Amino acid sequence: MTLEAQSQTAGTWPVAFRPYQTNQHQSALSVYRANSEIFGQGEPSGALYRVEFGCVRIGRVTADGRRQLCGFSFAGEVFGWESDEEHRFFAEAVGETGVRVLRPGRDAEASQKLLSLVLTSMRRIQEHLLALGGTKVDERFADFLCEMAERQGDDCLVRLPMPRSDIGDYLGVSFETVSRILRRLKERGIIRIPDTHSVQILDYESLLEISRRKLS
Amino acid sequence: MTLEAQSQTAGTWPVAFRPYQTNQHQSALSVYRANSEIFGQGEPSGALYRVEFGCVRIGRVTADGRRQLCGFSFAGEVFGWESDEEHRFFAEAVGETGVRVLRPGRDAEASQKLLSLVLTSMRRIQEHLLALGGTKVDERFADFLCEMAERQGDDCLVRLPMPRSDIGDYLGVSFETVSRILRRLKERGIIRIPDTHSVQILDYESLLEISRRKLS
DNA sequence: CGGAGGTTTGAAGACATTCAAGCCTAGTGG
DNA sequence: CCACTAGGCTTGAATGTCTTCAAACCTCCG
């Protein structure tokens, strides 16, 4: 599928996967095929990236070979922050994904914008951390699903473009357990699973209840 | 104990708990007694805080009353970031703790500094997230201990001013389990426990090995 | 049609939580 | 100065949950 073809079919995509409209200082669009690396652990950092369409997973591989994902980025979102000279995480395309390199200015206004972007990013990580702190795995998954619903702007149908193993590595849970959680939620009548990569939320309230998203 | 007395005894404190030397734009020093609230969930945000001495725990209480700590701040460290108008987390003094309010400027230089501070903070949260993603609780604790050793600048003796329940809530683990982990590590000859709030690291390498801190 | 990769499901075992009891220590009041 | 108390810490036993290993399924693609 060429880049042109992508653009033409854009209108039929769910919100979160639609090519992102930009207005200025465009650098070239890079299209990565499924499961290809955007940057790797240990590579020099510096640039920021914005997802134009598709989905990116960000994570780390530990010394013993296990993987921990610390986030997904969808169309319109920015990733690649590092406080270090080297990337401490890898970034890979989940499915076919378009990415643009950003070159932020160094003036006060640009710094402000950057700061705001980082804070948003940090907020997401903090919420993820909260979820991982929960003892029950259903909590973690419920939280994940709510987050995805929010980000995709649709309380009913959520698209999960990533494989179960990605969700597992994101939630710190085996992929078999992800599968079992889905079954449990389905049997409780909280979700429906039209196909492997879609979840229909039937009872958003219960989902919120299961997650730890509510404050005291 | 008055503020003056604090300063006089400063020299005998471990590095991380020593009053922090500052140079400019001092606002008044607030001293909080043990377990008192610095700010609460839902309160209006805006200010930044720097710890002068002592230790602050930052976390959230969920709707069902459970608690998740997402970080500790020690002398010299800054906390209170929010992407929102309201504090989404609470901050409490662990022991007696001195805190100063910061009023960052809005110029480019200040923004740069701020950005760098936020990135440091984010990095810490990311590492914490990595730790929570691990399945084994010994991993989580080993990671915590390594982090504390790094931040206190001492590979041998680590001070843990917070109670076991704080460590548990930080690691997403029951406080009884924290106690058991400590025993296991002691029995394996990796640590010694001179007193309840100190841990002596006998085998830092093993600790690193147990944690997920090493990259692939 | 056949194969490969991802997904679901089952059974056994490992691990953490929970509940309950005892311990230790610092702080209090006699 | 010492006994006493309260809170935090440790330890044990039972229960429940998640992981691991294994096998079967399903679906997309060659």
Ordered by where they begin, the domains of chain B are: 3-103 (2.60.120.10), 129-210 (1.10.10.10)
∠ CA A72-B209-B146, nearest 5°, is: 80
Proximity of residue A192 CB to strand C below 7 A: no
- Nearest by CB to B118, from A41, A66, A119: name it: A119
Closest by CA to B60, choosing from B70, B46, B45, B47, is: B70
Which residues of chain A does B205 touch, with a Cβ-Cβ cutoff of 8 Å? none
* pLDDT at residue B10 in the model: 35
Cα A202 from chain centroid (whole Å): 22
Give the closest-approach CA distance of B117 to chain A in angstroms: 9
Which nucleotide is closest to B136, CA to C1'? C15
* pLDDT at residue A118 in the model: 87
Stated as kind and residue range, the H or E segment containing A122 is: helix A108-133
* pLDDT higher than threshold 60 for residue B20: no
For chain A, percent of residues with pLDDT exceeding 90: 70
CA B214 vs CA A60, A151, B137, B208: distances in Å: 10, 32, 17, 7
Q: Is B112 on the interface with A (CB under 8 A)?
A: yes
The reply to whether residue B212 touches residue A66, judged by beta carbons under 8 angstroms, is yes
Q: Is A118 on the interface with B (CB under 8 A)?
A: yes
* pLDDT higher than threshold 50 for residue A161: yes
| pLDDT band for position B46 (cuts 50, 70, 90) | confident
Closest by CA to A98, choosing from A69, A120, A76, is: A76
Distance CA A172, CA A181 (A): 13
Closest-CA residue in chain B for A174?
B135
* pLDDT higher than threshold 60 for residue B196: yes
Backbone dihedral angles phi then psi of residue B64, each to the nearest 5 degrees: -85, 10
Give the closest-approach CA distance of B114 to chain A in angstroms: 8
Residues 121-180 of B with CB under 8 A from A: 121-123, 125-126, 128-130, 132-135, 169, 171-172
CB < 7 A to strand D: residues 173-192, chain A: 173-174, 176-177, 180
- Mean of pLDDT values over B95-119: 84
Stated length of chain A: 216
Ordered strands of the B55-61 beta sheet: B37-39, B90-93, B55-61, B67-74
* pLDDT at residue B149 in the model: 96
- Mean of pLDDT values over B154-165: 95
* pLDDT at residue A89 in the model: 94
Q: Where are the beta strands (DSSP E) in chain B?
A: 29-32, 37-39, 48-53, 55-61, 67-74, 78-79, 90-93, 97-102, 157-159, 191-195, 198-201
Cβ atoms within 10 Å, residue A150? 12
* pLDDT at residue B16 in the model: 52
* pLDDT higher than threshold 90 for residue B21: no
Q: Which residue has the higher pLDDT, A25 or B214?
A: B214
Cβ atoms within 10 Å, residue B187? 9
* pLDDT at residue B7 in the model: 37
CA B147 vs CA A23, A60, B21, B142: distances in Å: 43, 18, 23, 9
* pLDDT higher than threshold 50 for residue B6: no
